[in-house]
Each structure stands twice: as C-alpha cells, then as structure tokens.
Amino acid sequence: MIVRNLTDARKTRRLVETAGWNSVRLLLKDDGMGFSFHITTIYEGAELPMHYRNHLESVYCVSGEGRIEDAGTGEEFPLRPGVMYALDKHDRHILRATTEMVMACVFNPPLNGLEVHDESGAYPLQVDVV
C-alpha cells in the first residue's frame, strides 16, 4: 500500500510549478497503478489553453470556481466543486479560473513526472529508456 500526503509531497520533486498553476503528482507511472493522480492548483485569473495529444485526462473540481471551454466547439461549462470534465477525445480546451481552483486530475497513460507542457500545451508521450 502506498500512502502519501499533499503537505509532504509539496516539499519534493513531485511538485511542479509553472505560470498559472502548480501540480503535485501523488501517483506516477512507476507506482504501477496504470494511471497518474495529481492535485493541481489553478491560480486566480489564469487562462490556460491546453491540448493533451497523448493522454486522456479527467479533472474533478475540489474547490474554487471557473470555466472550461471546448476549443473545438466553443461550448463553455461552469466549474465549481462537484463538477468533473473528461477529455475523452484529446479535446483542445481552455481552462479559466475565476478564483483559485483545486482539481483532482487523473492521466492515462500515467505521467512519469518529467514531462513539461510543450508549445502546443501537450505533455509529450515519454519513450521509456531501456
């Protein structure tokens, strides 16, 4: 059994910080769960265009308020605690945080923890080094 907590993980390389958001990767590929699990904080006022070409992602809003726009259709959905969105078609999307938002995120395939967003807003799919 693996047990981890956000406070301790924030002091390690599990914390990734960049413009507009930070993310704590509580589970990564090497944990062998077949998915990764992250607690991500989106800063108030952030507007983040994203496109995960190589991953499916689900995002559950734990706290805060904002909006998610499907960049393919222009459709917008309000985000508040209890709302989940899933990018089941690698959907291009724009995330907007009205207030700071805390999100519980699941990625399949799992991130290995070394990815950074590339210029398209995607995480590149890492090739395992044998």
Question: Interface with a second copy by CB under 8 A: which residues?
Answer: 1-7, 26-27, 31-35, 37, 39, 56, 58, 60, 62, 68, 70, 77, 82-89, 91, 93, 104, 106, 108
Task: Provide the minimum distance between the beta carbon of 43 and a second copy in the complex, in angstroms, as a whole number.
Answer: 19
Q: Residue 7 or residue 127: which is nearer to a second copy going by CB?
A: 7
Cβ–Cβ contacts within 10 Å for residue 8, how many?
10
Q: Cα separation of 5 and 95, whole Å?
A: 26
DSSP string, 14-64: TEEEETTEEEEEEE-GGG-SSSEEEEEEEPTT-EEEE--SS-EEEEEEEE-
Q: Cα separation of 16 and 36, whole Å?
A: 14
Q: Calculate ∠ Cα 36-42-35, nearest 5°.
A: 5
Q: Residue 37 or residue 116: which is nearer to a second copy going by CB?
A: 37
Q: Residue 84 or residue 130: which is nearer to a second copy going by CB?
A: 84
Q: Residue 21 or residue 85: which is nearer to a second copy going by CB?
A: 85
Task: Provide the minimum distance between the beta carbon of 18 and a second copy in the complex, in angstroms, as a whole number.
Answer: 21
Task: Provide the minimum distance between the beta carbon of 33 and a second copy in the complex, in angstroms, as a whole number.
Answer: 5
Asked if 80 contacts 61 with a C-beta cutoff of 8 angstroms, the reply is: yes
Task: Provide the minimum distance between the beta carbon of 79 and a second copy in the complex, in angstroms, as a whole number.
Answer: 9
